[in-house]
Amino acid sequence: MSILKEKQMQIVIGRDAEDTKKYGSAGTINIGRHIVGTGEDSHFTTPVLMDILRPHLVVLCGKRGSGKSYSIGVFVEEMMKLPDEYRKNLCSVIVDTQGIFWTMKQSNEKDVVPLNNIGLKPQGFPINIYVPEGQSNTFRKAGVDFDDVFSISADELSGDDWLSVFELRATETIGILLQRAVSISRKKGQYSLDDLINILKEQEGFSSEKLALENMFEVARSWGIFGQSKMPKLLENGKASVVDVSLTSQNVRTLLISIICRKIFGERTIARRKEEIAETEGIFIKKTPVCWILIDEAHNFISSSEKPASQDILLRIIREGRQPGIGLLLATQRPEKLNQDALAQSDLLISHMLTAKSDIDSLRSIMQTYMLFDITKYLIDLPKMKGVAIVLDDNSERIYSVYIRPRQSWHAGSSPVAKL
């Protein structure tokens, strides 16, 4: 694969004509190169820049091993390399379901040559890694270099959250009992898991349901997510965080993501309101950074067929997140399994190789404009190598073939090779 020494202009994705005229290439991240030509005859040309001034909804898809998690790392590296004037107005939170992003602190010495070819060097990044408080020993023993622990408090969970995480229905006796205990606890203000269990015990009758619920709460204690440390401040200027939920079961993960996203949404909504008032009154206030939430294996958190605990808040961010300033990147192997609102509302779709017909069809259904293009042909024409993708940009109504650049930091997600 050759790299043309080109003088062509750069391609900016995620920016409409008006913003392109206004900002040019300022406030963009450099995600890779435009691919010209097809298959073996293709070559890399113009740098591809992505707008980071506006909060976008990005869907990043591709089959197993096609480069999704790797690309998430590239986006965050690039955000951290932005000039101060842009970087300080942004922060990012990666939801790490596989425990693979902590290695971003280390440099990628394996790819010195491909990095050199595009004028980059291996480099580690000062990313902040957070693991659940009750799992810290396990992470420590595994040699994970984390920065701090996080925990949630029982009073941050609504009745619906508990129902969802225990997989109970609101209409069954045990579900009604659970909601009653939560509602009584809420009236008393702050409460712990112990307080909740005590209130449950005080309820009259339903002894077998009470016992079953008590057991469920005891199991919840062993998840390692309830504790004293609370949430670290994620919305800090220029900060990149990784919330490692890799050792947490899927239904508990969705609960954690729901709580984290609700907090971010709440804080950003209040901050935006204050910023708007300050703007109209001409007062200077310190800005809360716009937040990018990057979720790997996102179909488990916002699904087309189920309703995980994180579904409602993610749908809310999708529909309303532009106003408070929340960018969302949803990575998935199976776009078909991702909630269709996420696909329909996305303004940037980056697709690494996909082969399942149902997945390609679900992409086709996104934007009518792209009916003109044969997405399958674009995918087939991509050179057979890792990191290549097509980009459907709804802002400029263009489609591009792109090679996502090599990582500067270490990527821990490669597959093991069964060889002596």
Ligand X SMILES: Nc1ncnc2c1ncn2[C@@H]1O[C@H](COP(=O)(O)OP(=O)(O)OP(=O)(O)O)[C@@H](O)[C@H]1O
Binding residues for ligand X, rule: CB under 6 A, are 62, 64-70, 333, 386-387, 404, 406, 411, 413-414
Closest CA to 292 of 92, 78, 101: 92
Q: How far is the CB of 25 from ligand X (least distance, A)?
A: 21
**Per-residue mark of binding to Mg ion, 17-56 (x: CB under 5 A):** ----------------------------------------
- The answer to the question of residue 346 lying near Mg ion (CB under 5 A) is no
DSSP string, 306-369: ---TTHHHHHHHHHHTTTTTEEEEEEES-GGGB-HHHHHH-SEEEE-----HHHHHHHHTT-GG
- The one of ligand X, Mg ion, none whose footprint includes residue 334, by CB under 5 to 8 A per kind, is none
- The answer to the question of residue 333 lying near Mg ion (CB under 5 A) is no
Nearer to Mg ion, 280 or 415 (CB): 415
**Rg value, the chain, Cα:** 23
- The answer to the question of residue 66 lying near Mg ion (CB under 5 A) is no
- The one of ligand X, Mg ion, none whose footprint includes residue 70, by CB under 5 to 8 A per kind, is ligand X
Nearer to ligand X, 21 or 64 (CB): 64
d(CA 403, CA 387): 6
Q: How far is the CB of 413 from Mg ion (least distance, A)?
A: 5
Question: Interface with Mg ion by CB under 5 A: which range of 46-54, 63-71, 267-275, 307-315?
Answer: 63-71
Q: How many residues bind Mg ion (CB under 5 A)?
A: 2
- Per-residue tokens: 44: 């890399």
Q: How far is the CB of 404 from ligand X (least distance, A)?
A: 4
- The one of ligand X, Mg ion, none whose footprint includes residue 387, by CB under 5 to 8 A per kind, is ligand X
- Which residues, listed in sequence order, are joined to residue 57 by a DSSP beta bridge? 328
DSSP letter at 39 equals G
- Per-residue tokens: 8: 């062509």
Q: Is 256 in a helix, a strand, or coil? A: helix
Rule CB under 5 A: choose which of 42, 45, 69, 128 binds Mg ion.
69
- The answer to the question of residue 362 lying near Mg ion (CB under 5 A) is no
Q: Is 232 in a helix, a strand, or coil? A: coil
Phi/psi region, residue 78 (left: phi>0; alpha: psi -120 to 50; beta: rest), is alpha
Contact 77, 120 (CB under 8 A): no
- The one of Mg ion, ligand X, none whose footprint includes residue 99, by CB under 5 to 8 A per kind, is none
Nearer to Mg ion, 99 or 122 (CB): 99
Nearer to ligand X, 220 or 404 (CB): 404
DSSP letter at 88 equals T
- The one of Mg ion, ligand X, none whose footprint includes residue 414, by CB under 5 to 8 A per kind, is ligand X
Q: How far is the CB of 136 from ligand X (least distance, A)?
A: 25
CB atoms inside a 10 Å sphere around CB 302: 28
Residue nearest to ligand X (CB): 387
Tokens 């993610």, residue located? 314
- Which residues, listed in sequence order, are joined to residue 44 by a DSSP beta bridge? 3, 35
Cα 285 from chain centroid (whole Å): 28
Nearer to ligand X, 101 or 265 (CB): 101
Query: Which residues of this chain interact with Mg ion, rule CB under 5 A?
Result: 68-69
